[in-house]
Chain A
Amino acid sequence: MSSYNSAAIEEFKGGVWVFCEQRQGTMMSTSFELISEGRKLADELGSKLYGVLLGDNVEGLAKELGGYGADGVYVCQDALLKDYTTGGYTKAICDLVHEYKPEVLLIGATNIGRDLGPRLAARLHTGLCADCTHLDIDVPKYKDFLRASSTLAPAAIDSIKEGDRNLKMTRPAFGGHLMATIICPRFRPAMATVRPGVMKKAAFDQAKADACEIIKPNFTLTADDVQTEVVEVVKAAKKMVDLIGADVVVSVGRGISKDVETGIKLAEELAEVLGGVVGASRAVVDSGWMSADHQVGQTGKTVHPKIYVALGISGAIQHKAGMQDSECIIAVNKNETAPIFEIADYGICGDLFKVVPQLIEAIKAAQAAK
């Protein structure tokens, strides 16, 4: 049993680490989100923030991470790390953790991050919280979060002891009906995978990027560590829909079934007027009307745009889980008892095929009047 870290958590003073995922030499946007979030956590701990970047010829990507808040980046380069492999990446990162002992390790909850995170946690004998949506270390900040986002009694919140340095990892369960804050009190690093699109990217600062330190640590890797062979990596030909980064999302649901083509066209027109992109509910994707990369919800993407327009979407909890944190939710639905109206800021009960064209005209008029 690797109990090397169970006794001495005070030795883990290596700061906050973020695994910075790159694919084919392009940084995943979730890496910048996590670096931005990691900066806040490092400040709360009074420690430093480091990116961890693995690949082949990827050093050129490292400095940009500094622009979002990294003090330094550990860069591991090896031909064996060119494509992601569970064995190779786990071995290299474990070597780093043993040597530099970070207190916190964050990983984006992508298909790759969710493969790597548990393997690492099992080898390091530490705790891992999956798909977190909120992270705190500072207790007063965590209490503020509970006051704003929970139904806990004020006395229960006030009774939380100050001064604890555990990473408090909050995640939704059961489609957001229940939230749980998880801690890892006896082992380090405290590890979390974080749902892409949930944390907000900081403003880029070129001066900080220039000052970012590049560290080339020692690690040993042989072909035997890799265990699996990547034969090919295929990118889907279709264009990725940038739902996560969009300020406005106009989504369509089963309510467009009467005339699917016109329904999608109306959503596209409304999205264009508002400067956003088109999303969809699972019903639309399962019916084959739109591709899966448009899907918003528990099994699709999580979005928190400034404006979310739900057209003909009933609002099942699996859908709401992916969009309920949007700043302003506008719902158009024929059924006035649709659950979507429970979370909508503005609701219009009516036929979307009649309402949307008028809404497009009204918004154009309001924009022209400015």
Chain B
Amino acid sequence: MKIIVCVKQVPDTSGKVAVNPDGTLNRASMATITNPDDLNAVEAALTLKEQTGAEVVVVSMGPPPAEGMLREIQARGVDRAVLVSGREFGGSDTYATSQILAAAINKIGVEKEDIVMCGRQAIDGDTAQVGPQIAEKLGLPQVSYAADIQKDGDTLTIKRMLEDGYMTIKVKTPCLVTCIKELNQPRYMSVDGIFECYSKPYEVFDYNTLKDDPLIDPTTIGLKGSPTNIFKSFTPPQKGVGMMLEGADRATCDKLAGMLAAKHLI
């Protein structure tokens, strides 16, 4: 059996987010990391590998520098890494991205016992759409927001989180699961793993590799194949500087209460 994990390299938004004067994001000023939810998916796959001896394959779509991220994931113990990279794929929205990743997964091959895993969402786009859209393109059942996964033969029992509780869902393989941080604690890279990762197999799928897949069509990939377009992007105005009240004593509090009352807020 095989577990295919989709991962994305993203800018680290937990630090300072810098915006260019023209209103676009200053990506050069931010470090890149593996998307946090995707690391939970990798960890879940490695846990299942330890239980079942499954082969773990990671797939990422992105520019060539994403190789560094894939090597880091290989150093955690995955067996095979695939980078999907090509100019034809650039400018894709979630629909087009899922189209391309589904074609790449078809190329790797999904069999009866296999599982496809994704993170719930990437921290740069925050859409949470690509996983379910890949599942639809591959015709697989999906379970999103997985906080616990148990495998018994060809059946997975998954705890799927809701805002006000959870559902327990049974699903047969092959299927697609999207993972959240409650699922596990991702392991560190091992020193041996880091030494070995650059000698592990690493493949690149470009447009020519995938072009025979029926999902790959100029009308369904890249900027031209994306149903959604950006109409305008802009930065919100800075809110006018508010009033700092001097003192921090009862007189200050009385003044504030007076102003709130005058505005009919209290």
**A80 contacts partner chain B, Cβ-Cβ < 8 Å:** no
Q: Are B239 and A343 in contact (CB under 8 A)?
A: yes
Determine, out of A38-46, A53-61, A184-192, A260-268, the stretch whose residues face the partner at the interface.
A184-192
**A100 contacts partner chain B, Cβ-Cβ < 8 Å:** no
Task: Say how far B107's CB is from chain A's closest CB, in angstroms.
Answer: 18
Q: Are B142 and A86 in contact (CB under 8 A)?
A: yes
A-chain residues with CB within 8 Å of residue B28 when the two chains form the complex: none
A-chain residues with CB within 8 Å of residue B232 when the two chains form the complex: 146, 150, 152, 160, 180-181
Q: Are A345 and B242 in contact (CB under 8 A)?
A: yes
Q: Are B242 and A329 in contact (CB under 8 A)?
A: yes
Q: How many A-B residue pairs have CB under 8 A?
A: 258
Q: Are B227 and A175 in contact (CB under 8 A)?
A: no
Pick from B23, B136, B144, B232 the residue with the most CB of A within 10 Å: B232
The residue that B234 contacts in the complex, of A151, A185, A341, A349, with Cβ under 8 A, is: A151
Task: Say how far B182's CB is from chain A's closest CB, in angstroms.
Answer: 10
B residues 1-27 in Cβ contact with A at 8 Å: 13-14, 17, 19, 23-25
Q: Are B263 and A349 in contact (CB under 8 A)?
A: no
Q: Are B136 and A123 in contact (CB under 8 A)?
A: yes
Contact A128-B129, Cβ < 8 Å, known A231-B169, A234-B167, A359-B256: yes
Interface residue range, chain B = 35 or more
A342 to B236, CA, bound (A): 14
- Residue-wise, chain B 102-143 has the 8 Å CB interface mask toward A (1 for contact) of 000000000000000000000011111111110111000111
The residue that A359 contacts in the complex, of B238, B257, B261, with Cβ under 8 A, is: B257
A residues 330-355 in Cβ contact with B at 8 Å: 330, 336, 341-351, 354-355
A-chain residues with CB within 8 Å of residue B94 when the two chains form the complex: 118, 128, 130
Interface residue range, chain A = 35 or more
Task: Say how far A87's CB is from chain B's closest CB, in angstroms.
Answer: 6
**B191 contacts partner chain A, Cβ-Cβ < 8 Å:** no
**A155 contacts partner chain B, Cβ-Cβ < 8 Å:** no
A359 to B232, CA, bound (A): 43
Q: Are B125 and A111 in contact (CB under 8 A)?
A: no
Contact A324-B239, Cβ < 8 Å, known A233-B165, A363-B266, A366-B258: yes
Task: Say how far A326's CB is from chain B's closest CB, in angstroms.
Answer: 10
Q: Are B244 and A110 in contact (CB under 8 A)?
A: no
**B50 contacts partner chain A, Cβ-Cβ < 8 Å:** no
Contact A345-B256, Cβ < 8 Å, known A115-B144, A128-B94, A231-B169: no
Task: Say how far A142's CB is from chain B's closest CB, in angstroms.
Answer: 9
A-chain residues with CB within 8 Å of residue B132 when the two chains form the complex: 86, 115, 117-119, 122
B-chain residues with CB within 8 Å of residue A160 when the two chains form the complex: 232
Determine, out of A12-20, A67-75, A201-209, A222-230, the stretch whose residues face the partner at the interface.
A222-230
Task: Say how far A130's CB is from chain B's closest CB, in angstroms.
Answer: 4
**A221 contacts partner chain B, Cβ-Cβ < 8 Å:** no
Task: Say how far A244's CB is from chain B's closest CB, in angstroms.
Answer: 11
B-chain residues with CB within 8 Å of residue A1 when the two chains form the complex: 214, 217, 220
A363 to B126, CA, bound (A): 40
A363 to B257, CA, bound (A): 5
List 15 additional contacts besides A181-B230, A183-B231; criterion CB under 8 Å: A111-B163, A122-B95, A122-B132, A122-B133, A127-B228, A130-B94, A180-B233, A185-B229, A233-B166, A235-B164, A306-B265, A307-B265, A342-B239, A350-B248, A359-B256
Give me the 4 closest cross-chain CB pairs, A-B, nearest first: A350-B248, A127-B227, A127-B228, A118-B129
5 sampled A-B residue pairs with Cβ under 8 A: A115-B145, A151-B237, A178-B23, A348-B252, A349-B244
